[in-house]
Amino acid sequence: MSDIKKVVLAYSGGLDTSVIVRWLQDTYNCEVVTFTADIGQGEEVEPARAKAEALGVKEIYIEDLREEFVRDYVFPMFRANTIYEGEYLLGTSIARPLIAKRLIDIANETGADAISHGATGKGNDQVRFELGAYALKPGVKVIAPWREWDLNSREKLLKYCEERNIPVEMKKGKSPYSMDANLLHISYEGINLEDPWAEAEEDMWRWSVSPETAPDEPTYVELTYKKGDIVAIDGQDMKPHVVLESLNKLAGANGIGRLDIVENRYVGMKSRGCYETPGGTIMLRAHRAIESITLDREVAHLKDSIMPRYAEVIYNGYWWSPEREALQALIDQTQHYVNGTVRLKLYKGNVDVVGRKSEDSLFDEKIATFEEDQGAYDQKDAEGFIKLNALRLRIAAGKGRKL
């Protein structure tokens, strides 16, 4: 007899999680609470309610978390100019801590004994969900069906549904790829993408046109920053999630944001995936541009030096860790003067910075000019600066040391 009486499941309403509802009921003889989050995946989440009810679920949570997702997770990450292994903008990774947090919140609210998720035993998401859960509720029981059952193929899942009268919706034109979407990105894995040499098919992409078919005229856009976050587009104030929604549309229409990479998963394997991050691609470029005129040089270089570590922390699932909080405190401290406006030109897959201005700019035209500077900078000072910085090199060379 199981001691698990109630489980909160991260529920999408798809085949896998619908099977998990019944499997939990059968295996643990427990009550299942479903939690469905709207984080901007682009599909209606309310139908999950009817599917859960058909499976006998009594407590159903469906929540719009779009604003919280961008405000409290995406924006803080972009203050650091975060990018994993030089390319990946962490679209899936940054959504997991919020889902883990709500799973634990709901478990506490409903008196559940455990939480459950549909992540497989091969991927990063199992780690991200569970590290977050344990950080927020140390004694929580986690049930990961993919690590317990033998339903390891679509055929077995469908047979399980048939045997237990679980309704399966067969959508026409459904993508054959394994996909994950939220307001920041959409990812594609599986099928021909498992061959790193195979080019992704053009009809796979959902959010962007190809650069070749993008408009022949550029699109200009101005982004206004306050303390490192975008607060307005073309002078119009917007909430964080509306900012990202708007940038996704602008960038996608101009063929911006496609990525095809092989990444190193935390569990040890290499994985090939394709990503569309249209708005995020603009955000990264624009944020670096506004920082270029507002950040002190050494502060900017310090941020750049810790960014790979910060990216790794998020990718590996340690959002709710003391090291991430310490890094975030440092990053946020650097953003007090990251205010102003960046002007961008979007054209056939490219994002070009064509202007930046700020009341807090450290760019001094009187000093930087190639024209007469009226004594603002004494070029003779450079001689001593260079000699002092060369002192150790001169001493070593004088001793006959070779490089």
276 and 352 share one domain: yes
In this prediction, residue 96 carries a pLDDT of: 97
Domain assignment of residue 338, yes or no:
yes
Q: How far is CA 19 from its chain centroid?
A: 28
Q: Give residue 299's pLDDT.
A: 98
Assigned domain for 104 exists: yes
Based on the fold, state whether residues 183 and 152 are members of the same structural domain. no
- Looking at residue 174, its pLDDT comes to 63
pTM of the entire predicted model = 0.94
Q: Which residue among 178, 246, 271, 321 is the active-site one?
A: 178
Of 66, 79, 96, 272, the catalytic one is 96
22 is an active site residue: no
Count of domains observed in the chain: 3
Do residues 62 and 150 share a domain? Answer: yes
Q: 101, 130 in Cβ contact below 8 A?
A: no
- Annotated active-site residue in 113, 125, 180, 229: 125
Domain that holds residue 232: 178-295+334-357
Residues making up the binding site for ATP: 10-18, 37, 118
**pLDDT (0 to 100) of residue 170:** 60
What's 235's domain CATH number? Answer: 3.90.1260.10
Question: Which contacts (CB < 8 Å, 24+ apart) does range 21-28 have?
Answer: 21/52, 21/55, 21/57, 22/55, 22/160, 22/164, 22/166, 23/145, 23/149, 23/151, 23/160, 24/116, 24/143, 24/145, 25/55, 25/56, 26/164, 27/2, 27/148, 27/149, 28/2, 28/4, 28/143
Closest CA to 236 of 248, 228, 246, 227: 246
Same domain, yes or no: 132 and 221: no
Would you say residue 318 lies in a domain? Answer: no
pLDDT for the residue 403? 75
The list of the chain residues with pLDDT below 70 reads 1, 169-174
- Residue 96 known to be catalytic: yes
Where residue 97 sits, what CATH number does that domain have?
3.40.50.620
Annotated catalytic, 373?
no
Instruction: Extract the tokens encoding 274.
Output: 């394709």
One domain for residues 208 and 186:
yes
Q: Report d(CA 121, CA 125) in Å as an integer.
A: 9
Q: Does any domain span residue 391?
A: yes
